[in-house]
Each structure stands twice: as structure tokens, then as C-alpha cells.
């Protein structure tokens, strides 16, 4: 018998559904369902993944949602559930609109709802089910109010023009069967069909555990206290037609009726065909004509008049080629929209620059979208756009991050909030978040959860679950598990993002049909603790299950786990079962008892939460625009950030739905450069045009070759600093290579060392075939860029540029054997036709195939290289302005403000402390007689002062400067905590001119407390300090105490680096400073050094090595830690702020590292624990 499941929830029913769309579809296909409908609660966020998986599995996918409907009932509001299924494109538009309406009221955030009137206004093309027991009709039927239930059903029939079915279910509960009997009678009375559903919330019965945990999180309760809030059994899983038929064998009409409903619901997601809004054009001018005019105007500005030396026939040919393809693909409107956004930014003085593959386009260059000349750099346009590509072009634009919101609001105003919204990002469960939530549900303390989270995998809840189950063989294996978890916290930004995406992609893959062997592992021991209505879920002996229930389970009514009574001894590996284990497990390291039943359940819960959506966030910059109302394509909801709206789909969903995304990204470096140029104009009266910077200034390249790059865009990391002295950049293209080469791809592809050896003449430049020389000459025969692989296919195999891009994507991360086999043969055939010998052709193809995953886009590297040079230039010639700008652009970059200030002072910049009489909120510049300006730290650098404090301080300072501590207390509007922070940071020092420096902060605190206390009454006025009078004597602060206070309150100390205070103890013991090692260190000598740990990294490409950066009063030194050493001392290395390191010095081409052999924690109360550091959590 056939059956279609018309009511199923995925994990996108947040904290309710326990199955991702892909496994749910795979299970439905395995069970032989005729169709599957997804009806998430007020949500369409999972339907693209659902529809994509169903299309691949050839399973009819019905799009639906279960809406929350508020019904007036006897003077009160009844909150009910109503599943709706889309029959047509019009019905889908109404469904998306209703979800949008349900979520638009911010006063009910987290509690979406629609009214019957809103439902009636958008009912066309929708088929309604009466829903689960919380539906309007079932609720009344369960109460025995049959007449009222009939009236409710009749109302729904009127709203949906009889496109209604009465929904019935049987989860083995007597009370449900009573309700169902009444519902069938109502259906017969009203002559409407009734249908069977199972109100699915998880794919398999064993997943009930995860569903229960999600329910606990929704109610903010532990399992012990949930009671009857939990569903009483495990029946809410996806069942086969045979199981459903057995359950409903007394009356199969409702099972058959599901097929008729499924046949009616013919809408599929690929029927969506959204279009971009029309760009406003002059009368009688087409988009293609207008675009061509703008491009010609931009070409004249970029290259001059046609036919000149700067604008040759090659330029004209390329422009005509690009414009022709854009016209053929109907994309002129898209380019005009992007040009308009960039035009607005430039008009408003907001620095912006396009990047990514768009920089391959001469049209984008002429429109001012990108800043890289693709013709001069010989970049391939087809890397950006080709006729063979099915997806839309992708233009990413970086804006000065402080001003980006203005650009975003311009887009909203220009196209209207009904036509524009930002893309969402689904935040999913990973190791740490899954452990914390699972521990909370199981009743562990916050401290226990913190301990477990610290030892959890950063990216994968599944890996964390495996670690929780593991029993290490010895201490070394135990240390390795801890090191792996702690090391994951040191993975840097881009790599961390890529690894997170990879985990999400893996979770979408269902590689094989699930079988009975996929049930929980033996140590699960799950039971809903303390739940009085849990039907023996924790039974450990099958004999204790009542025989009728046992027989039902055997016939397929498997709400009870039939494996619950097994002791599983026979399934244990006899070798591992008998072996003594000495290593402490992860749970023991966290101070927990591995025999606690909650601990045994923890791993299963954590594994079950892997990659389930946890909450929704806003994508960093993705915008979608449509001509039709966007809410008819995808639901829109207000974001938590004021003025923002967000769609329910992620960026990976957009191509499948036909939506075009424009990325409006924020880049801190552009803010820095924008501010720096303004400060230069204000302080020095000159104007600097980035477009006319001399790109061959050797003084700037000297800094880069010396790795003097703290604060310089893209080349300030440890890896970049280690590479710069070896690469020795001397021209712009060297910077393009530098940006590209220190990336996970080139490192994994073993491209870095061959290039550097050839660069330094240590090995000859060779090519696999002479035909490769023109293509690989610029990169010394080493393929670095994706465009080079495409150019090889064009030159050697006769591919068109579009075909070459198809080759690039076929070789990419999502390669398939079939596509690879076809493209491989075609390329080999092409090379044979061009006379290339078979052996050479094989080697060439293998080389391209080998680096296809790892090559970096040359256009992207070139765009970033412009910012590398600009920031290095500004730092070299305008260090004070650069310092003020980078402090005001925080948070950004690789280093904390304390490190940036130390570096600036080493470069001769005078940095002055925070001072309420002189500081603004931001860092400012102050004139100095006969020299460059000094940098005055801003009040923003004082920790604990937020946006409210900023507004109040700026308002008070606008009126007049502060003249005394009393004045600050009266006019600032700050609370005692904020005032105390200012005093401890030394911001009041200038208001106590007659106190010695070492007493000013404590004197300020005393005065502050006295002023804040006020008069005790008319008979007990406080004694006011008159001008020039000393306050009560307070003890002086030592230099160590001043440094500690500085780091605690600002993270910046002008009283001395923490290492200054411990140097007298370290120096006699042979502990050398960073500058001593850098200047005088010899390769291979044994050394000791110490410093503040400002950065920890464990890149995935480093094979387990950990890299530390230590800072002392003289500079920075890099430390290399082997995997074995890190495993032995992972906690010490990961958590200690001040470290003493002994090891062997490595010196190669002016690159200095310490290969660590011993670590010791330095115990000194110098504020090191308060210093900000980048451990890439």
C-alpha cells in the first residue's frame, strides 16, 4: 500500500524537529513513501535543502509550513497550529507571505503568529490540514466540544474554499484515539476527506532522545524536571507505508487520501523564477545601452581616449567581448545595480573596493567597482562570468566597516523593504555549544559544562561525542585528545570558517541507506530522568516489557526501544575489553564520573545535536533583491539589529532558488585607510590619492622585506612575517604572490617552498613542457593561481575560456568522478591534437588537477595587494596618523591595541595616556612643536565603557571640558563603576596636578568616592577639597602596580611593558630579549626567552604544530611547538599568559624562530592575564 507523509518537521523547527532535511529525505526514500511534505513551524528555512535532497533522491517534495494561528474563542485568544501545503506557485507565494506576516511583529519575537483575517487574505493556492493536537479543530474535539469543532472546520473550509482535510494520527495513546474517532466523525459530517499523518519530528525512533533534549531547551528545563512536557513515547518518527497500514488497518481511507492530497500539491521549488528589480533608466534607453555608456565613460577615466598607448585595440576588444556576453545573459541590470551602490558610497566619501573574481572584469574596473586593471595583469574574464556557467555572477564589495550600515540602509531605501533583504546564516550545533546545552539539560553544573566545553572539538559535535565515548589506552593518548581540543581553538579566521562550512556540508551528505545498525551505541543509557509519563524508556531487561507491548514492537509498533534490555557484553571487542586502560578519558579530565548514567547519555546527545540549527544570524554582507515582492519568494523577518531585515535562507540556498546575491562586506582596513587619509589632511594639510600612490617606493618594500608589518593588511601574521624576508618583495606583483601563497591551499599543495627556493636561486626554474612557460613564467614555473590552470587548458588543449572555467569547477572541492573522467579525456585529446606527447600531457593534467583545489584566485590576490601596499605606505610615512586610525578601527586585524601601541612607540610615535581633560572618545592627534603629531589615547580604550557611556561623555564634553573630578561626577552621567574605571585607568590624573604621579590614581579614587558619596545631610556636609590642596594621604603605587592597572583597565601600558618588571630577574639567568635574539642570535644555539603570549595558532595545514608569538619590551619573537611537546603541556601552553621558553634558535634568511623544548609559567602580578590576545577561538 502507498502512503504520503503530509506532516513532518525538520530541525528547522527550532528546538522541536530533530532531523536534518537530507537524512529525513533519505529515510523517506528508503521506506518507500510516495511523497513527503515538510511543515516546519512558521518556517521555510529548510525547504531548499529539503527540495534539493528530494530531487536527487527522486522523491516528490511537498513544500509546506505549520503556521501558528491566533483564534478568538469565548473572549480569549486560542493559539493553534495549522499545517498548510503549497499546491501552486501562487500558493507558495501566499505561504511565504503568511510566514513573513507571522514574524513581522517584533513585540512577539520568538512567538510568531497570524490571525484568521490574515489567513483568509492569503489562502489562494494553499491546502490546509487541521493539524496536530494543538490544531484548532483537534483542540475542540479533544475537549468533547464536537459542535464547536465542526464550526471551526467549517470556517477553515470557507477560508480555503474546501481545500481542507481533517488530520488524524495514532501514536499509541488512548486519548489520541478518542480524539481521532471524533475527528473522523466530523470529516464525515462535513463531507471532507480525512488523512493520516504521523506528525513526524525525527527520522527514527532512536532519535527521540535528541527531540526530548531540544524540548528541554525550548522550555529551559532539565530532563529531571520536564515531566509531562515530554512526549510520552518514541512514536513521532517517520514510518513506512506498511507500518501505517498496520496501525490503521481498521480503516484505510485516511491512508489512501494522503495520495490524493500529495497529487494536488504539485508545486516544486524549481518553479520559482525571481528576477532583479529594474534599474531606473533615462527615457528610451535600454539597460545594455546605458551600461555601455557608463563603461565608455569609465574607460576614458581609467585609460584615456581610444587609440592611445594606454587604451589599445586589446582594451576595446575585451570591453566589447564582456559587454556582449553581459547582454546575452541579460545581466546589464545587475551590473547597474552594483554600480549604483558603489556610486552612492563614493559620493558619501565611503571608501570601497570590489574583490574576488569580479576583479577579472574590465567592465567592473571601468565602472569603478574594482580597482585592479585586469588587462594589465592579464586576468581571465571567464573566471568571473561565462556562458557555460549556470550560477549568477558573484560581486563582493568591501566598504569601510564603520560606514557600511549607511550603504545597507541606502539599498533598503532605494529598492524598498518589500524587495530587498539580507541573507541569513544558520548557526548550527558544534562541539562546544552541543556540550554546553546537553550538559545543561542533563543537570550538570555550569562549572562542569565549562570544563567539558574546554575539552570539546571546536568544529564538530560528532567528533566531541566520539571523544566523550573514548577510553584512552595511556596518558599519551589522553594528552593527545586534550591537545586536539585545545589546538582547535587556535585555528585562525579563514581556515576556521572553511572548516565550519565543511562540517555543515558533510552533515548534508547521506552516503548510504540507514540500517538497524545505526541505533545508539551500547553506552547510551538514555532515559527521560524523572519523567512520570515516560513509558519504561530506561528498561534494561526485555523480559520486563509487558508482552503485549513486546509483540507490538515486533510487528513494527516500535515506540519502545526493543534493544533497551541488552547487556551488549557479546558485542565488545575482547581485546579492548580485557586491556587495562591507564589514560584519563575526557570526562575524567573534566572531573566527571564515567559511570554516571548522565555521562553515558551525554555523548549520544552531543552526537545527535551535530549540525542541527541552533539559531539564526545575519550573513556578513549578503543582500538579495527581487522585482516581485521578496516575501513571495522567501519569508522575511526583522533582524535583532535595528533597521535590518533578513530572509530565512542561507547563501548556499540562493542558487537553487534562482536568487542573485550581492555581498556588501565591511573591511576594517578600509576604515583605517579612510580615517588615516582624513587625519593626514587635518594634521599636515596634504591630500593623498590612493590611485596615484607610487607603487615602486623602495623604502616601503624595505619595511616589507624586513617583515616590519604589524598592522599592515594581510601580511602581519606570523606566517606572512616568516615568508616576507624569504620572498623579498620589490614590486607590486610580488605582493600579489605574497597574499596568495600563505593560504591553506598553496601550503597543502606544496607550492610555497618550491616557489621560495626558485625565488632565491636555490633551484632552477623548470616547466613540464615549453608551452607552459608563458603562463607560469610570472610564478617561476609553480602554479599558484586558478586562472593559470584555465590558461593552460586554453593554450595547450584548445579549450574556450568558458570551457576552461567548467574544467576549474569540475576539479574543485565538489568534484565528481563522472565529470572528472569526461573533462580529463577531453583535455588529453586536446593536448594530443596540439602535438603534446602522451606522457607530457599526463604530467600536465596531473599538475593542474593536483593544484585545482588549492589555487588562489589571482584577481582576489591583486585586489588585496593594493591594500597591502597602501597600508604599508601609510605606516611608513605617516606613522602617528596610522596608529590613531588603527586604534579607532578596532576590533580588526591580528594584534590587540597593546601590541599596536608598543610597535608604534618603537617606531618613534609619541603615545599619550587617556585624560578626561584632553581625550575624546576616539584616539586623537595632538600637535607637537617641530615634529610629527602625538597620539592621544581615547576614552574608548577604557574597558567597561559602552555605547551609553560614550553618548553621555561626548554630550558633556560638547558643553565644555571637565575641570575637576567633582565636575566629572556631576556632568558625565556615568555610574560609579564607569567613574571608577576611568580613575583606575589614570584618566583623572591631570585633575590632580599637585599629586605625585605614583599617587594620582589612588588619590583620584579617594576623591571620586568622596564626591560620589555627597553630603550626609545639612548637618554633615562633606569636606570639599579646595584647589591646590592635597587629598588625604594614600600610599603610592609601584611601577609594577601601575602596569598591572593599565593592562587591567585598558590593555595598554605606557608605564612599561610587563616584561620590564621581570627582566632584572630573567637576565642573570640567561633569558634573552626578543631584539637580542633577532639581532645577535645564531642558528642552532640553545636559548631561553620569555614574554607575553599575544597569539597562539594551530593551523590545519601545520600537521599538529603550534605557533606562539611572544611579546616583550623590545619586540616579538616566534616560537614553534612540536605536536609531541604540545600534547605533553597543552594546558600550560594554551592558558598561561606569561611564558618562559627554552629551546633551539632557528635562523634562516633573517627569519628567527625558537623551536621550543621546555616551557615554564612566569608568575608575576604585572597584569599579563588582562592582555588581549588572539587565540582564534
Residue 688 pLDDT > 80: yes
| Residue 44 binned pLDDT confidence (cut-offs 50, 70, 90) | very high
Residue 826 CB partners (closer than 8 Å, separation 6+):
797
Percent of the chain with pLDDT over 90: 52
| Residue 1011 binned pLDDT confidence (cut-offs 50, 70, 90) | confident
pLDDT, tens only, 205-259:
999 999 999 999 999 999 999 988 999 999 999 999 999 999 999 999 999 999 9
* CA torsion angle 864 870 871 874 (round to 10): 180
Mean pLDDT of 272-288: 92
Residue 571: the pLDDT is 31
pTM greater than 0.95 (yes/no) = no
**Do 1062 and 1045 have their domain in common?**
no
Q: How far apart are CA 484 and CA 463, in angstroms?
A: 11
CATH for 159: 3.20.20.140
The verdict on residue 298 lying in a domain is yes
CATH for 1155: 2.40.50.140
Query: How many CB atoms neighbour CB 1030 within 10 A?
Result: 12
**Do 659 and 796 have their domain in common?**
no
Grid look-up 599568559 returns 1137
Mean pLDDT of 70-96: 93
pLDDT, tens only, 866-877:
999 999 999 999
Q: Which of 1023, 1049, 1075 is the last residue of a domain?
A: 1049
Look at 1174 and 105; give whichever has higher pLDDT: 105
Radius of gyration of the chain (CA): 34
**Do 927 and 1010 have their domain in common?**
yes
Partners of residue 167 on adjacent β-strands:
195
Q: How far apart are CA 582 and CA 818, in angstroms?
A: 49
Q: How far apart are CA 843 and CA 839, in angstroms?
A: 6
The verdict on residue 248 lying in a domain is yes
**Do 125 and 172 have their domain in common?**
yes
Number of H helices, E strands in the chain: 49, 24
**Do 52 and 142 have their domain in common?**
yes
Helix (H) or strand (E) holding 65: strand 61-73
Q: Which of 1006, 1029, 1049 is the last residue of a domain?
A: 1049
The verdict on residue 1107 lying in a domain is yes
Percent of the chain with pLDDT over 70: 86
Query: How many CB atoms neighbour CB 1085 within 10 A?
Result: 12
The verdict on residue 572 lying in a domain is no
The verdict on residue 300 lying in a domain is yes
**Do 733 and 805 have their domain in common?**
yes
Residue 1167: the pLDDT is 54
Q: How far apart are CA 230 and CA 441, in angstroms?
A: 13
Look at 745 and 83; give whichever has higher pLDDT: 83
5-14, 380-389, 843-852: the lowest-pLDDT one: 843-852
**Do 292 and 419 have their domain in common?**
yes
What total of structural domains would you count in the chain?
5
Q: Tell me if residue 4 falls in helix, strand or coil.
A: strand
Mean pLDDT of 804-820: 67
**Nearest by Cα to 941 from 897, 882, 883, 911:** 897
Cβ burial of 374 (10 Å; 0-12, 13-18, 19+) is buried
The verdict on residue 231 lying in a domain is no
pLDDT, tens only, 1115-1143:
999 999 998 888 888 888 888 888 999 99
The verdict on residue 609 lying in a domain is no
Pairing relationship of beta strands 1115-1121 and 1151-1161 according to DSSP bridges: parallel
Residue 823: the pLDDT is 78
**Do 324 and 401 have their domain in common?**
yes
**Do 1110 and 965 have their domain in common?**
no
| Residue 558 binned pLDDT confidence (cut-offs 50, 70, 90) | very low
Residue 215: the pLDDT is 94
Strand intervals (E) in 497-651: 613-625, 636-638, 645-647
Most confident of 188-197, 805-814, 977-986: 188-197
CATH for 923: 1.10.150
**Do 712 and 851 have their domain in common?**
yes
Helix (H) or strand (E) holding 83: strand 76-86
Residue 594 CB partners (closer than 8 Å, separation 6+):
585, 587, 588, 600
The verdict on residue 16 lying in a domain is yes
Q: Which domain holds residue 352?
A: 287-427+616-668
**Do 1062 and 1115 have their domain in common?**
yes
**Do 905 and 1024 have their domain in common?**
yes
Helix (H) or strand (E) holding 196: strand 194-196
Q: Which of 1026, 1049, 1072 is the last residue of a domain?
A: 1049
Amino acid at each position: 500500500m502507498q502512503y504520503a507523509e503530509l506532516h513532518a518537521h525538520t530541525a528547522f523547527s527550532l528546538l522541536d524537529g530533530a532531523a536534518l532535511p537530507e537524512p529525513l529525505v533519505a529515510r523517506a526514500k528508503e521506506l518507500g513513501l510516495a511523497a513527503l511534505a515538510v511543515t516546519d513551524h512558521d518556517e521555510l528555512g529548510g525547504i531548499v535543502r529539503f527540495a534539493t535532497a528530494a530531487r536527487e533522491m527522486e522523491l516528490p517534495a511537498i513544500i509546506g509550513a505549520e503556521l501558528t494561528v491566533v483564534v478568538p474563542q469565548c473572549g480569549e485568544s486560542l493559539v493553534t497550529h495549522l499545517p498548510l501545503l503549497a499546491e501552486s506557485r501562487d500558493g507558495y507565494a501566499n505561504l511565504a507571505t503568511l510566514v513573513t506576516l507571522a514574524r513581522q511583529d517584533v513585540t512577539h519575537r520568538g512567538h510568531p503568529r497570524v490571525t484568521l483575517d490574515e489567513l483568509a487574505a492569503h489562502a489562494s493556492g494553499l491546502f490546509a490540514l487541521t493539524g496536530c493536537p494543538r490544531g484548532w479543530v483537534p483542540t475542540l474535539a479533544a475537549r468533547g466540544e464536537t459542535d464547536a469543532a465542526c464550526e471551526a472546520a467549517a470556517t477553515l473550509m470557507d477560508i480555503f474554499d474546501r481545500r481542507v482535510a481533517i488530520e488524524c494520527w495514532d501514536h499509541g495513546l488512548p486519548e489520541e484515539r478518542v480524539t481521532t474517532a471524533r475527528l473522523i466523525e466530523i470529516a464525515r459530517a462535513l463531507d471532507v476527506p480525512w488523512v493520516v499523518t504521523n506528525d513526524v519530528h525525527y527520522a527514527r525512533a532512536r532519535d527521540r532522545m535528541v527531540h526530548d533534549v531540544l524540548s528541554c531547551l525550548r522550555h529551559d528545563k532539565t530532563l529531571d524536571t520536564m515531566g509531562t512536557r515530554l512526549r510520552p513515547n518514541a512514536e513521532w518518527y517517520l514510518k513506512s507505508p506498511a507500518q501505517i497500514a498496520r496501525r490503521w488497518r481498521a480503516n484505510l481511507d485516511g491512508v489512501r487520501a494522503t495520495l490524493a492530497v500529495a497529487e494536488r500539491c504539485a508545486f516544486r521549488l524549481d518553479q520559482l523564477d525571481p528576477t532583479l528589480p529594474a534599474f531606473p533608466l533615462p527615457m528610451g534607453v535600454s539597460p545594455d545601452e546605458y551600461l555601455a555608456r557608463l563603461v565608455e565613460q569609465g574607460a576614458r577615466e581609467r585609460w584615456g581616449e581610444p587609440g592611445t598607448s594606454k587604451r589599445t585595440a586589446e582594451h576595446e576588444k575585451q570591453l566589447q567581448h564582456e559587454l556582449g556576453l553581459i547582454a546575452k545573459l541579460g545581466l546589464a541590470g545587475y551590473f547597474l545595480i552594483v554600480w549604483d551602490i558603489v556610486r552612492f558610497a563614493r559620493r558619501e566619501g565611503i571608501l570601497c573596493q570590489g574583490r574576488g573574481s569580479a576583479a577579472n572584469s574590465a567592465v567592473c574596473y571601468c565602472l569603478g567597482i574594482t580597482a585592479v586593471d585586469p588587462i594589465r595583469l592579464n586576468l581571465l574574464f571567464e573566471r568571473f562570468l561565462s556562458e557555460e556557467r549556470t550560477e549568477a555572477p558573484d560581486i563582493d564589495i568591501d566598504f569601510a566597516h564603520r560606514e557600511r550600515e549607511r550603504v545597507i540602509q541606502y539599498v533598503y531605501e532605494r529598492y524598498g523593504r518589500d524587495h530587498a533583504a539580507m541573507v541569513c546564516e544558520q548557526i548550527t550545533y558544534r562541539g562546544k555549544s552541543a556540550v554546553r546545552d546537553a550538559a545543561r539539560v542533563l543537570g550538570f553544573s555550569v562549572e562542569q559544562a565549562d570544563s567539558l566545553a574546554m575539552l570539546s572539538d571546536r568544529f564538530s559535535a560528532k567528533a566531541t561525542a566520539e571523544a566523550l565515548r573514548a577510553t584512552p589506552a595511556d596518558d599519551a593518548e589522553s594528552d593527545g585528545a586534550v591537545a586536539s581540543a585545545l589546538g582547535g581553538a587556535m585555528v585562525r579566521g579563514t581556515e576556521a570558517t572553511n572548516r565550519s562550512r565543511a562540517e555543515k556540508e558533510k552533515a548534508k551528505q547521506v552516503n548510504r541507506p540507514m540500517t538497524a545498525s545505526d541505533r545508539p551505541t551500547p553506552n547510551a543509557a538514555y532515559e527521560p530522568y524523572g519523567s512520570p509519563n515516560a513509558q519504561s524508556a530506561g528498561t534494561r531487561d526485555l523480559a520486563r516489557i509487558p508482552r503485549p507491548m513486546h509483540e507490538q514492537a515486533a510487528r513494527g509498533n516500535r515506540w519502545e526501544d526493543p534493544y533497551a534490555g541488552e547487556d551488549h557484553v557479546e558485542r565488545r571487542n575482547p581485546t579492548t575489553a580485557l586491556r587495562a586502560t591507564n589514560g584519563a578519558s575526557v570526562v575524567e579530565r573534566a572531573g566527571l564520573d564515567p559511570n554516571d548514567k548522565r555521562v553515558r547519555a551525554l555523548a549520544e546527545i552531543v552526537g545527535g545535536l551535530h549540525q542541527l540549527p541552533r539559531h539564526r544570524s545575519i550573513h556578513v554582507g549578503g543582500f538579495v533583491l527581487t522585482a516581485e515582492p521578496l516575501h513571495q519568494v522567501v519569508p522575511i523577518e526583522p533582524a535583532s539589529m535595528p533597521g535590518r531585515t533578513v530572509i530565512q535562507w542561507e547563501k548556499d540556498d540562493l542558487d537553487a532558488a534562482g536568487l542573485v546575491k550581492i555581498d556588501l562586506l565591511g573591511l576594517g582596513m578600509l576604515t583605517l585607510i579612510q580615517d588615516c587619509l582624513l587625519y593626514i589632511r587635518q594634521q599636515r594639510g596634504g591630500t593623498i590619492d590612493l590611485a596615484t600612490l607610487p607603487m615602486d617606493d623602495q623604502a616601503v618594500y624595505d619595511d616589507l622585506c624586513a617583515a616590519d608589518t604589524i598592522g599592515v593588511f594581510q601580511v602581519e601574521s606570523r606566517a606572512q612575517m616568516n615568508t616576507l624576508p624569504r620572498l623579498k618583495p620589490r614590486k607590486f606583483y610580488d605582493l600579489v604572490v605574497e597574499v596568495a601563497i600563505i593560504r591553506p591551499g598553496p601550503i597543502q599543495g606544496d607550492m610555497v617552498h618550491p616557489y621560495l627556493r626558485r625565488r632565491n636561486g636555490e633551484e632552477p626554474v623548470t616547466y613540464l613542457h615549453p608551452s607552459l612557460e608563458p603562463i607560469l613564467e610570472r610564478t617561476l614555473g609553480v602554479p599558484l593561481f586558478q586562472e593559470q590552470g584555465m590558461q593552460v587548458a586554453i593554450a595547450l588543449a584548445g579549450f574556450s575560456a568558458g570551457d576552461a572555467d567548467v574544467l576549474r569547477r569540475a576539479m574543485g572541492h565538489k568534484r565528481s568522478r563522472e565529470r572528472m573522467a569526461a573533462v580529463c579525456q577531453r583535455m588529453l585529446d586536446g593536448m594530443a591534437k596540439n602535438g603534446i606527447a602522451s606522457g607530457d600531457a599526463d604530467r600536465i593534467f596531473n599538475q593542474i588537477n593536483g593544484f585545482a583545489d588549492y589555487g588562489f584566485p589571482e584577481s582576489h590576490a591583486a585586489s588585496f595587494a593594493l591594500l597591502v601596499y597602501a597600508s604599508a605606505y601609510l605606516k611608513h610615512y605617516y606613522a602617528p596618523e596610522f596608529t590613531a586610525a588603527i586604534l579607532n578601527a578596532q576590533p580588526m586585524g591580528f594584534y590587540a591595541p597593546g601590541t599596536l601601541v608598543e610597535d608604534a612607540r618603537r617606531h618613534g610615535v609619541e603615545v599619550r595616556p587617556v585624560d578626561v581633560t584632553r581625550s575624546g572618545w576616539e584616539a586623537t592627534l595632538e600637535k607637537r612643536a617641530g615634529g610629527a603629531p602625538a597620539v592621544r589615547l581615547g576614552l574608548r580604550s577604557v574597558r567597561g565603557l559602552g555605547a551609553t557611556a560614550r553618548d553621555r561623555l561626548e554630550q558633556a564634553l560638547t558643553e565644555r571640558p571637565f575641570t575637576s573630578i567633582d565636575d566629572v561626577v556631576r556632568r558625565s552621567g556615568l555610574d560609579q563603576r564607569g567613574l571608577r574605571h576611568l580613575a583606575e585607568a589614570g584618566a583623572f590624573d591631570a585633575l590632580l596636578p599637585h599629586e605625585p604621579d605614583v599617587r594620582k590614581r589612588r588619590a583620584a579614587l579617594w576623591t571620586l568616592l568622596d564626591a560620589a558619596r555627597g553630603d550626609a545631610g545639612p548637618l554633615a556636609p562633606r569636606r570639599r577639597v579646595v584647589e591646590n590642596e592635597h587629598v588625604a594621604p594614600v600610599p603610592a603605587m609601584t611601577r609594577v602596580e601601575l602596569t598591572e592597572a593599565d593592562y587591567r583597565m585598558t590593555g595598554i601600558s605606557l608605564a612599561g611593558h610587563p616584561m620590564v618588571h621581570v627582566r632584572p630577574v630573567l637576565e642573570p639567568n640567561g633569558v634573552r630579549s626578543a631584539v637580542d635574539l633577532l639581532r645577535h642570535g645564531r642558528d642552532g644555539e640553545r636559548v631561553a626567552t620569555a614574554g607575553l603570549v599575544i597569539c597562539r595558532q594551530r593551523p590545519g595545514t601545520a600537521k599538529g604544530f603550534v605557533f606562539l608569538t611572544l611579546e616583550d619590551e623590545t619586540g616579538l619573537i616566534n616560537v614553534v611547538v612540536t605536536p609531541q611537546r604540545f600534547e605533553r603541556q597543552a594546558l600550560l601552553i594554551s592558558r598561561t599568559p606569561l611564558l618562559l621558553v627554552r629551546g633551539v634558535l632557528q635562523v634562516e634568511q633573517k627569519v628567527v624562530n625558537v623551536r621550543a623544548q621546555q616551557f615554564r609559567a612566569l608568575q608575576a602580578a604585572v597584569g599579563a592575564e588582562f592582555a588581549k590576545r588572539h587565540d582564534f577561538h
